[in-house]
C-alpha cells in the first residue's frame, strides 16, 4: 500500500502535455505532438525546449489555492467522480478498493472533481510553479523563468484563427507523460480579464460522441474512437469534460512502467490496440543502479508511439458576441495534483450564411 500511494505523487522531469490545435502562443503544432518541442526545434534528438511544461502544480479540489509542492491543503473536498468507468488511474486495482475512501489513492486529485481544483493561471505557468525551485521536477520552458504566466506570452505573428459563431471547430492536444484524468476547452473574451472564472463561464460543449487519434497534421491519418463525456459532478455545474482516452501502464510501477516497458493489462481498455503507456517521460526516471531507465533506441520508440494528437470537435455558441477571444485547454490529472493548461488566440466572427445554389 505504501508503494502504491507514493507512486501517485512521484516527481517526473520533462514534458507532459500541450494543446496542439488551434495554434497556441507556446508554438505547439499538430506535427510535433508529444515531442515537447516547438516550431524552432530541429528534431527529437535536440534538447527539449519544453513547450509542454505549462501547468499548475500542487492543485487539489476544495483548496483555495495551489501550492507548488505537496498537498494543497489539509481538507480537500470529497470526490464527485466515483464511477470506476470514469476513473483513469487507480480504478480499484488495490485489494478492498472502495471509491472515496482511504483505499482510493486518487480521490483528492483534480480529475476526481473536474474543474474544482484552483489554478495559478488558466493558460499555465512556466515550469508549473511560482517559486524559484522547479515544481514537480519540471523545468521552465527554454528562455523563460520559472513562474512566467502563460497569459503574458505574446500572440503569434501572422497567425489568425477564425471561428464563426454557431460553427463546429476542431481542437486537439497531445502528451509526453500520461497522468490520466480528463480535459475541457473554454473561451474568454480578450476584453475581459483572463481569469479562471472568465474561462469557466465560457465552457464549450463537445460536438459529437467520438474523438480521433491522429498522427501529425494529415487528416487522412486519423482513427475515430469513442469519447467518454461527463457533465455531472463538474465545475461549473453542467460543464462538459472528456475522460482521457489512453490508459497508463497497469503494472506495480503505479502506471509509469518499469525499465521503459509497460506490462499488460493497462489501467483500462485502450482506445486502439496497443495504444497505452506512460510516454517518453518514463525514460527520465533514474534506475536504482544510476543512469536513465531507457536506452536511446527505446526512448525514441516510445516518443514515436506518443506522437499522436487527441482530436475533438467543439460547438461555438451561435449567440456568442463577435470579437477576439482566448481559448484555454485545461487537463485535470488523476495521477498527480496538476492542472495542465495552455491558451490560443481566436477571433469569433458572425455566423456563416449558407450559399444559395
Give the CA distances from residue 313 to residues 136, 168, 235, in Å, rounded to whole numbers and listed in that order. 32, 6, 21
Q: How confident is the model at residue 52 (pLDDT cuts 50, 70, 90)?
A: confident
Burial of 205 (0-12, 13-18, 19+ CB in 10 A): middle
Residues in CB range of 212: below 8 A, 6 or more apart: 222, 223, 224, 225, 310, 311, 312
Of 41-55, 117-131, 193-207, the poorest mean pLDDT is in 41-55
- Give the end-to-end CA distance of the chain in Å, rounded to a whole number: 67
CA distance 337 to 56: 8
Question: Which of 122, 127, 246 has its CA nearest to residue 184?
Answer: 122
CA distance 92 to 9: 18
Helix or strand holding residue 200 (H, E):
helix 196-200
List the Cα angle 203/352/210 in 5-degree steps: 45
Q: How confident is the model at residue 268 (pLDDT cuts 50, 70, 90)?
A: very high
Strand order in the sheet with 222-226: 17-21, 168-175, 308-315, 210-215, 222-226
Q: How confident is the model at residue 352 (pLDDT cuts 50, 70, 90)?
A: confident
Burial of 91 (0-12, 13-18, 19+ CB in 10 A): buried
Residues 108-135: what's their mean pLDDT?
Answer: 87
Judge if the upstream peptide bond of residue 265 is cis by omega within 30 degrees of 0: yes
CA distance 112 to 131: 27
CA distance 265 to 25: 38
**The pTM is what?**
0.91
Whether the CB-CB separation of 10 and 256 falls below 8 Å is answered with yes
Give the torsion sign (CA, 186, 188, 194, 199): negative
Over residues 16-27, the pLDDT tens digits come to 889 999 999 988
CA distance 295 to 89: 27
Over residues 60-102, the pLDDT tens digits come to 999 999 987 766 788 899 999 999 999 998 776 666 788 999 8
Amino acid at each position: 500500500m505504501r508503494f502504491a500511494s507514493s507512486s501517485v505523487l512521484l516527481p517526473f522531469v520533462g514534458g507532459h502535455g500541450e494543446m496542439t490545435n488551434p495554434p497556441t502562443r507556446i508554438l505547439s503544432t499538430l506535427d510535433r505532438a508529444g515531442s515537447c518541442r516547438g516550431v524552432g526545434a530541429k528534431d527529437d534528438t535536440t534538447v527539449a525546449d519544453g513547450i509542454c511544461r505549462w501547468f499548475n502544480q500542487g492543485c487539489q479540489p476544495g483548496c483555495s489555492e495551489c501550492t507548488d509542492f505537496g498537498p494543497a491543503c489539509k481538507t480537500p473536498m470529497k470526490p464527485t467522480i466515483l464511477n470506476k468507468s470514469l476513473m483513469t488511474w487507480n480504478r480499484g486495482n488495490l485489494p478492498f478498493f472502495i471509491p472515496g475512501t482511504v483505499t482510493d489513492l486518487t480521490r483528492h486529485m483534480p480529475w476526481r472533481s473536474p474543474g474544482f481544483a484552483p489554478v495559478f493561471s488558466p493558460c499555465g505557468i512556466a515550469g508549473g510553479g511560482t517559486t524559484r525551485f522547479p515544481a514537480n521536477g519540471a523545468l521552465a520552458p527554454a528562455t523563460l523563468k520559472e513562474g512566467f504566466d502563460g497569459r503574458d506570452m505574446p500572440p503569434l505573428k501572422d497567425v489568425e484563427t477564425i471561428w464563426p459563431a454557431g460553427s463546429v471547430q476542431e481542437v486537439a492536444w497531445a502528451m509526453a507523460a500520461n497522468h490520466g484524468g480528463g480535459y475541457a476547452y473554454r473561451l474568454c473574451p480578450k476584453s475581459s480579464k483572463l481569469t479562471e472564472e472568465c474561462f469557466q463561464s465560457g465552457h464549450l460543449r463537445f460536438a459529437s460522441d467520438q474523438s480521433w487519434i491522429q498522427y501529425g497534421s494529415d487528416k487522412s491519418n486519423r482513427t475515430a474512437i469513442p469519447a467518454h463525456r461527463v457533465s455531472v459532478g463538474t465545475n461549473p455545474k453542467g460543464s462538459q469534460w472528456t475522460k482521457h482516452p489512453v490508459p497508463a501502464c497497469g503494472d506495480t510501477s503505479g502506471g509509469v512502467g518499469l525499465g521503459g516497458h509497460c506490462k499488460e493489462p493497462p489501467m483500462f481498455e485502450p482506445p486502439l490496440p496497443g495504444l497505452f503507456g506512460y510516454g517518453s517521460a518514463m525514460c527520465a526516471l533514474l534506475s536504482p543502479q544510476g543512469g536513465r531507465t531507457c536506452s536511446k533506441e527505446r526512448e525514441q520508440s516510445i516518443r514515436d508511439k506518443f506522437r499522436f494528437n487527441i482530436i475533438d470537435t467543439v460547438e461555438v455558441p451561435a449567440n456568442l458576441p463577435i470579437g477576439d477571444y482566448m481559448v484555454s485547454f485545461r487537463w485535470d490529472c488523476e495521477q498527480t495534483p496538476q492542472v495542465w493548461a495552455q491558451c490560443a488566440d481566436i477571433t469569433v466572427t458572425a455566423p456563416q450564411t449558407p450559399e444559395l445554389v
